[in-house]
Structure 1
Amino acid sequence: MTSRFPIRQVAVLGAGVMGAQIAAHCVNARVPVILFDLPAKEGPKNAIADKAVANLKKLSPAPLGLADEAGLIRAANYEDDLPRLKDCDLVIEAIAERMDWKHDLYKKVTPHLAPHALFATNTSGLSITSLSEGFDADLRARFCGVHFFNPPRYMPLVELIPTAATRPEMLDQLETFLTATLGKSVVRALDTPNFVANRVGVFSILAVMHEAQKFGLSFDVVDDLTGSKLGRAKSATFRTADVVGLDTMAHVIKTMFDTLPADKDPFAALYATPAVLRTLVDKGALGQKSGAGFYKKVGKDILRFDPATADYVAGGGKADEIVARMLKKPAAERFKLLRESSNPQAQFLWGVFRDVWHYIAVHLGTVADNARDLDFAIRWGFGWSEGPFETWQAAGWAQIAGWIAEDIAAGKALSGAPLPAWVAQIDAVHKPEGSWSAAEGRYKPRRELPVMRRQIFPQTVLGEAAPGPATAGTTVFEDDSIRLWTAPGAADVLVASFKTKMNTLGPGVIAGLHRAVDLAERDYTGLVVWQAGEPFSAGADLQAMLPAFMAGGSKAIEPEEKKLQDLMLRLRYALVPVVAAIRGMALGGGCELAAYTARRVVALESYIGLVEVGVGLIPGGGGLTYLARRASELAQANGASVDILAFLKQLYMQPAMAAVSKSAIEARQMGYVLPEDVIVMHKDELLHVAIGQARGLADAGYRPPMPARIAVAGRSGISTIKGQLVNMRDGGQITAHDYALGAAIAEVMCGGEVDAGSVVDEHWLMRLERERFCALLDNPKTQERIMGMLQTGKPVRN
């Protein structure tokens, strides 16, 4: 078993784009971090690092879970502050990709490293062994590559690259930290140019460019073919290149060109920088950061670069319908159709798949320990829904191998290199016993690290045959809406998982959760509400309410709304702890459900809010009641017995503006996640932590809270808020219907027509919430917003 190695503080060397964002993600994970850079020539010595920290607040997507926390990163410089390195357990170097610059920096910093500190370089492709030249044996044993993908907060992949001298336990310690503390998914890579993900991913992009040119396809058509239709990132190929930066892309390609000559790599001819990429880089069109690349936005129009005219022309080209239909077929049929079609788009797609399969077969033994690591690297680093080996296996291992061999023999492939002998010796790369290692000629099981036990359902590859969350464990009750079950090794805690579209709350889920509380109170120590994927819940099921509304108007909805509110109170006052395990969106009713549980365990990438005004409604399942209670609790905690309004105003703005947190950290600031709740960095650890929280509360002798006594702002509070709304309406900032919604929210949260400081209970506020909700349902403007959302999926502003 790996010994515990606490990483108390991290230093990041280099305050460029990657270094600053790695430091930011350490702050997201509550790890103290020092960000170093060169001393400034003028002004304060730390000006370079300080500027990088300030810039983090402006970046989109946001590197920080809460922009205000940028100040938690401590700035430093190499002239004055190197002695501070002795207090760091992990030092990550992240300066520019120049071997000579890195070596110069190492000479400066390594004398100051603590004798136990792990030292790592964040490089996308330089040789880790060459970077360690000049180190003594002890430092070599503590040195490795750690390649974060950009942007570090959002991209799951980190490649860990040892040298022959790296101590194995050091790698285990670093992987444990990267996984559980920073929430990353780790692949161990071999010390070869560009490692695993960039080596295969960039080859894939080069193959797309080559085949697109061969078949005369424009960039927009290629992106429509190679994005979500293939289960890959929406940004597909050329738009992704624009986001990454065409200069960065050219640099990575040049690394392959310089380090992989023809005697080392039979695909070397393809590593020459594509002419169109060179043209764009030479004219300064570097992609998104320069305002133009393969695409250019002019007003609302997206133009595409036309290599023939070297100018931008109208974009928007799409895949042919016949090819789009082929891509929806099962894998074996899909590739047969693509290969045999005379359609250039189909031939292009077959060519790209064949090229990548050919490449990974030839190179598996030299770039990755096994096929699983290669597939995960591409899934996590490039956003593919399945890795290239998985696709090959799904399409029929032997059949595809035969077709690739035929194309190689016919001169259609990018290289004449034959498929390696092992391809014909096996019938699948992924099997229950492990994934194929070409270097060792055997199937290799996963590495067993203690940290992996925190992932009850780790991500798997096709063919591993691990039970999925829909069937694993022991089912206690199941119908079309919900599954109540216990997870393997956790028979004492009941888990509720929804089966509705977007995990919405309809009558079946409401009934199922009532049943779950009954069962949990009788037979279990706690109840966890957890979904196998995302979202946690997109809220109440509007579609399910429509028939009742059409038949009986708002009067028919009122009892359904009461059932939802009763469920919320049932969860809050259950005799066992109810824990909400949140990942992704928890909107409207999903946010309300989470708010009424005893504890929330929340993945960092969780987006929580009451968004009902978008459909012309107010929260109706207890959301406003919850916020009124929070305002009362905050006022009482601050010793203010009467002026509730000061605490209410900020909370009021959230449902009034349909505000949604951009992270779990921001949700805590908004009051949807409380100080005692837990933020989890790795989404696959969510269920493990939630079960642990339920057990911990039960072990501590959990009792539900006493019935809430809520002090409210009353009629004077309503008047104050309405006065501000009138000014906004008359100033043209909000519509008349927005005013009506804002007024209804104020009436509920302030407790209705009572005196300021009056004390009410949850039933009183929920009745007000229900009445205002149902009254709005009869409003034609609300009905327009609901129908608009159901038809287009977008809010209507009326």
Structure 2
Amino acid sequence: MTAASSTHPALRIRKAAVLGAGVMGAQIAAHLTNAGVETVLFDLPAKEGPKSGIALKAIANLAKLSPAPLADKNFAAAIIPANYDEDMAQLKDVDLVIEAIAERMDWKLDLYKKIAPHLSKTAILASNTSGLSINGLAEALPEEMRHRFTGVHFFNPPRYMHLVELIPTRLTDPAVIAGLEAFLVTTVGKGVVIAKDTPNFIGNRIGVFSMLSAMYHTDQFKLGFDTVDALTGPALGRPKSATYRTADVVGLDTMAHVIKTMADTLPDDPWHQYFKAPVWLQGLIDQGALGQKTGAGFYRKLGKDIVVLDPAAKDYRASEQKPSDEVAAILAIKDPAEKFGKLRASSDPQAQFLWASFRDLFHYTAYHLADIADTARDVDFAIRWGYGWKLGPFETWQAAGWQQIAGWIDEDITAGKAMSKAPLPAWVTDGRKGVHGKDGSYSAGANVDKPRSRHTVYQRQLFPDPLIGEKFDQGTTVWENNGVRLWTLGDDGVGILSFKTKMNTVNDFVLDGVQHAIKLAEEKLKAVVIWQTGEPFSAGADLKGALSLLKEGRIADFEKMVENFQRTSMAIKCSLVPVVAAVRGMAFGGGCEFQMHSARTVAALESYIGLVEAGVGLLPAGGGLHELAVRAAKANPGDPFEELKKVFETVAMAKVSASAFEAKNLGLLRDSDVVVFNAYELLYVAKKVASSLAESGYRPPLPARAIPVAGDVGTATFKASLANLQAGYFASEHDVDIATRIADTLCGGVIERGSTVDEEWLLALERKHFVELAQTEKTQARIAHTMTTGKPLRN
């Protein structure tokens, strides 16, 4: 993130066009559509069938991709298919054009000439290239368009990868970059890094080098591909796909293409001799084994097993490699300085591999910092957000003791052990403790530390993604106990309520804490936001405590706990000051119920919300079923059953939304709930929503005393549909018992259809069924199994 003027006119983008309906182009179009931007997807005219057939096929294919590019599959209908023969007029009212065709300079330049006459005088044109020269591309444009042209590089898959690199040319208007940065951060929800126009920019320049260095050292230390993946995945704070699995997912042909781009465009790079596909990588490509898309690469599936390539035997073998005992013990060391010292000193080839890979990555990144990025911050964020590492290369080095590591790298360069003889830049060994500090992050080009960007868009991030050692204002504590902390940030009168438990689960301290915090808020504050300092929002009730009460036969205490849970949900709902839930990540069980009872939920796009109790043999009893019954009656007082049909399956099958929009479809979020695309803006938006509710004279809903219910007829109808599931072996007897109790609670119990009940009646039904289920052997087995394995048990 580079500094930008602190005020700029907002960039209003009503409509966008994406040129190129390949995998990347179609997914960028999908994510713009997720963000509510009307998007036209262009491709070449089809030879047969409808002229826009290529784009139509790409849009249809979005539904088949996993992970899903669309946050709601119904959004596919909003993408407009187009072709270059008939639809150029569609470009006249487009505010942003993203070109995403194949990485061929000549093809891109041709296309720009074709579209230029059809674009408005203010339209911004951006090329989603992963490495071609942006200045080179700009030269093909008419002069009056060059100031509105830039590189924009999304990472795959665009919906989920946080990174977007923005690459201005020498002539790009800074206001265009500032406007586009704000649009990408807030509307599209991305982490923007401004990159220099150098081959592969920042993310792929460093990320691909890291993979090349791992591949080179795989050979040097004679390790198996699966061993390397066991060493370079979560053990190092990196994704499960590690090195070779990542290559398989990306596609070995794509990988080879990126390596070739580096070889062709970086002839003077001191590491140039390594910019070539290793023999075994080329061998796989020649055989057409391109990774996941062809079913075989470094790995392939054999029946239920995954087998790995053994280059010596030129065949696949069983994959079971784990780190050696010595290396596993070193990787478990908490202190990074001690860990790196032990890796370097060890004679175990796996330890030597890890030290050598880090050494060459650090060496390469420091050497190139000045020419590829404005600051070390941009490099670390590019790798974290684009490759999913917990710490970037500079952060890792700084954590391990900057000068000690620098000395070791120097020794290895002198001894001829490093991949390149290039010296470390002088700034590395100037006595510094690292590149990130209180004054900002080091800029090798300017030889100063630069603070974070002052662009106004970042004022919306009250707690941005922190770099190593970065501390943000933790606010002022109003009150806390062992379960929660109520605090304020600034003087807006909005309290923030955060849980202190692991995974933000709900135990007695949390239940009592929430109730007490709301009482205090009613006295001292104007609103409350429930927000967690990290993901998830809440993994639900603390099952361990519940199971021990059951095992000890303390049923009365167990029932009290359930009652207290309901009391907490109702305290949220009936609070005299608005309580807003700010959800990101998982909101399961009780976490889902808390947000259902809030005055409003503000949910990050990537919110995975579900009443999952059926999976552990229970039903929602923190007021969740009661709330669904109340909502159904409100939506359709004449026939609440019609509304209940939509949510019964959601609860009985323990469905979890794959996005905030899907949670609305499942009936777990309300239409009035707000969806935010950038999770770092969640607290800011939730505080504004809470504040505006308070300012508009908020009152809690009046207690519902005459709720029309679907009654025993409704329950019988649900039960009939369950019989079919059981007959087809899709549901066990216990599943049917759970689902029948869910139906009974939603429908208001054994009373006539159309009868009216109050909220307490529904809450009592919920408790009764929950406590009875909890005492069954099968439910206790399910709870115990989930706690030990993390997976549901079907019994």
Aligned to 1:89: 95
- Contact 1:302 1:316 survives alignment (8 Å): no
Alpha-carbon distance in structure 1 between the residues aligned to 2:10 and 2:59: 31
The answer to whether 1:345 aligns with 2:384 is no
Work out whether 1:282 is the aligned partner of 2:322.
no
Mapping of residues 40-55 of structure 1, within 5 Å: 40-55=46-61
The answer to which of 400-409 and 3-12 deviates more is 3-12
Which of 376, 385, 393 does residue 390 from structure 2 map onto? 385
SS in 2 for 1:659: coil
The aligned amino acid for 1:149 is F
CA distance in 1, matches of 2:491, 2:98: 38
Residues 301-450 of structure 1: matches in 2 within 5 Å?
A: 301-329=305-333, 330-425=335-430, 426-450=432-456
Checking the alignment, whether the CA contact within 8 Å between 1:494 and 1:516 is kept in structure 2 is no
Conserved? CA contact 2:550–2:775, under 8 Å:
no
Report the counterpart of residue 271 of structure 2 in structure 1.
267
Alignment-derived partner of residue 582 in structure 1: 583
Q: Partners of 2:708 and 2:12 in 1: how far apart?
A: 45
One-letter amino acid of the structure 2 residue matched with residue 570 of structure 1: A
Q: Which residue in the other structure is 1:479 paired with? A: 481
Within a 5 Å distance, the mapping from 1:453-472 to structure 2 comes to: 453-463=459-469, 465-467=470-472, 472=474
Q: Give the deviation of 1:577 after TM superposition.
A: 0.6
- Aligned length, in residue pairs: 786
Contact 1:475/1:485 (CA < 8 Å) preserved in 2?
yes
Larger displacement relative to structure 2 (721-730 or 782-791): 721-730
Which whole-Å CA distance do the structure 2 matches of 1:725 and 1:267 have between them? Answer: 64
- Which of 777, 780, 796 is the aligned partner of 2:777? 780
What per-residue deviation string (whole Å, max 9, x for no partner) do you get for residues 34-68 of structure 1? Answer: 11111112221111111110100111000001112
1:498 paired residue number: 499
Q: Separation in 1 of the partners of 2:460 and 2:50?
A: 45
Q: Is the 8 A contact 2:646 2:667 kept in 1?
A: no
In structure 2, C-alpha distance between the alignment counterparts of 1:716 and 1:577, rounded to whole Å: 37
Contiguous gaps of at least 5 residues in structure 1:
none
SS of aligned partner of 1:697: helix
Report the counterpart of residue 764 of structure 1 in structure 2: 761
Judge conservation of contact 2:230–2:323 (CA < 8 Å) in 1: yes
Structure 2 Cα separation of the partners of residues 575 and 725 of structure 1 = 41
* Partner SS for 1:289: helix
What residue number does 1:656 align with?
652
Following superposition, the deviation at residue 620 of structure 1 comes to 1.1
Q: In structure 2, list runs of 5 or more residues that go unmatched.
A: 1-6
Q: Is the 8 A contact 1:554 1:777 kept in 2?
A: no
Cα distance in 2 for residues equivalent to 1:723 and 1:499: 44
1:608 aligns with 2:605: no
Using the TM superposition, give the Cα deviation of residue 732 of structure 1 relative to its aligned residue in structure 2, in angstroms.
Answer: 2.4
Query: 1:69 Cα shift?
Result: 1.4
Query: 2:342 is aligned with what amino acid?
Result: L
Change (3 A) 1:665 1:490: farther
1:608-628 deviations in whole A, cap 9, x for unaligned? 111111111111111111111
The one-letter amino acid of 1:381's match is G
Deviations 1:116-170 (A, max 9, x none): 1111000000010111113233211110100000000000000000111111111
> How far did residue 112 of structure 1 move?
1.0
- Letter matched to residue 390 of structure 1: E
Matched, 1:685 2:681: yes
CA contact (8 A) 1:631 1:651 kept: no
Q: Residues of 1 paired with 2:98 and 2:776: CA distance?
A: 58
Distance 2:241 2:30 in 1: 25
Q: Pick from 175, 180, 183: which aligns with 1:177?
A: 183
Q: 1:108 aligns with which of 102, 108, 114?
A: 114
Counterpart code for 1:434: G
**What is the deviation of 1:724?**
2.2
How much has 1:650 moved relative to structure 2?
A: 2.0
**Corresponding residue number in structure 2 for 1:299:** 303
Cα deviation digits, residues 698-724 of structure 1 (max 9, x gap): 111111111124211101111122222
Contact 1:196-1:367 at 8 Å conserved across structures: yes
Which consecutive aligned stretches of 4+ in structure 1 deviate over 6 angstroms post-superposition?
Answer: none
Taking the aligned partners of 2:152 and 2:205, their CA distance within structure 1 comes to 16
- Per-residue CA deviation, residues 462-520 of structure 1 (Å, 9 max, x unaligned), is 14x3326xxx1111112322111012x34410000001011011000111101111111
Residues of 2 paired with 1:440 and 1:53: CA distance? 46
TM-score when normalising by structure 1: 0.97
**TM-score, length-scaled by structure 2:** 0.98
Task: Report the Cα distance in structure 2 between the residues aligned to 1:714 and 1:726, rounded to whole angstroms.
Answer: 19
Q: Secondary structure at the match of 1:605?
A: strand
Q: Tell me by how many angstroms 1:563 deviates.
A: 0.6
Moved more, 643-652 or 348-357: 643-652
Q: Percent identity?
A: 56
Write the distance in 2 (CA, Å) between the matches of 1:318 and 1:573: 53
- 1:594-616 Cα distance to aligned partner (Å, 9 max, x none): 10000000000001111111111
2:553 pairs with 1:552: yes
Match of 1:541 in 2: 542
601-610 or 313-322: bigger deviation: 313-322
Secondary structure of the corresponding residue to residue 636 of structure 2: helix
- Using the TM superposition, give the Cα deviation of residue 533 of structure 1 relative to its aligned residue in structure 2, in angstroms: 1.0
